[in-house]
Chains A and B, each alone.
Chain A
């Protein structure tokens, strides 16, 4: 199998070797324009605008990183994961053994499958994954998705172009320069998550913001008494096996990234505790707006009502002062 793959890849590698001199010269050129861009931006534009790459194999656009390496492909996998997954929880794992990983994944799977599927949505229990990440590559991927704007880069004149369009993919020289040279604003999501990216990290990826699934995962991975109770021993004896328990002791949640925003443990638990998921939130909002409308109408009515009451009481007072007769006459008529 591996042999077959390597044979299949060979023409590509040979092709790469043939193309190497031209690509190397392109890299040198682009490096030159990068250096000049910072100092003589105005001068660099006409020269950079002429940067076109003549021949590009359709499956292998030129990239700033060596594309064959595992790390580079990890960056691609992580950027795609971060873009497509709205709910990611980050865990630190301290020397878990393979058996412990297996047991924890088994329990997680069991808990997620017990979540009743909400009507109309696909069942996402199969797609929820707990996987170990390379921390440094995740760091680069987070920078790319936060700071590299492919549309802005393709509109810029200094971006190298091919016949098929500008080279603005995640591994491109433009993306590389951007993440290297952009100062990190303290308000950005990356600045918040940066301190988390230390040591061995694992990620729980849930492909939709589903508080029910999140609650089920939390009850297994970081149970909180009353809020997210761990499964009972009578119901789920596998969870209370020593292997699983020792795995859980070595795994702790450090934070989460939900819809691009960074949450700590309490924030993640808050999201997990939303009743009824997004529908529940919508119902809460509708209720809030309705009750606000009710409040406004009563408030607006209240002014005129009190005015009427005051005038009415004043009239009664005046009637009393003028004597009982007309009042009686009024009553009589």
Chain B
């Protein structure tokens, strides 16, 4: 996953529900020095009985915001969506250089 262009990631999930899987795996894909490089990462854990579906919020450098509800998508879908926008930003970056 291209994480270079993300500035903010917020994940919210109830670990005891199966739909937390994409959100948790998304957090594991962020590189170890992401926070040091200025990415703002917040993870909120909901209590055990919560029925609210887990969600991931991503903000990119160009201001684009993405909101995902994880009950319908999986981790591949999540990374694909993010990568599609990241690649566009990468292209723009490469053309400017």
Give residues in A with beta carbon < 8 Å to B.
Answer: 92, 94-97, 100, 192, 195-196, 198-200, 246, 249-250, 252-255, 263-267
Contacts and interface: CB of A to CB of B under 8 A. Distances in A.
Contact of A92 (B16, B17, B24, B36): B24
A26 to B, nearest CB: 39
Given A192-B16, A249-B35, A264-B16, A199 B28 contact: yes
A97 B41 CA distance: 17
B35 A195 contact: no
Contacts, number: 58
Contacts of B18: 195
Contacts of B16: 192, 195-196, 255, 264
Interface residues of B, number: 20
A252 B17 contact: no
A97 B25 CA distance: 18
Contact of A97 (B21, B28, B32, B45): B32
Given A198-B24, A250-B32, 4 more contacts: A92-B24, A94-B30, A97-B32, A252-B45
Contacts of B41: 249
B63 interface: no
B48 A196 contact: no
Chain A binding site: helix, strand, loop or mixed by DSSP? mixed
A198 B32 contact: no
A270 to B, nearest CB: 12
Contact of A199 (B24, B32, B48): B24
A250 B48 CA distance: 21
B82 interface: no
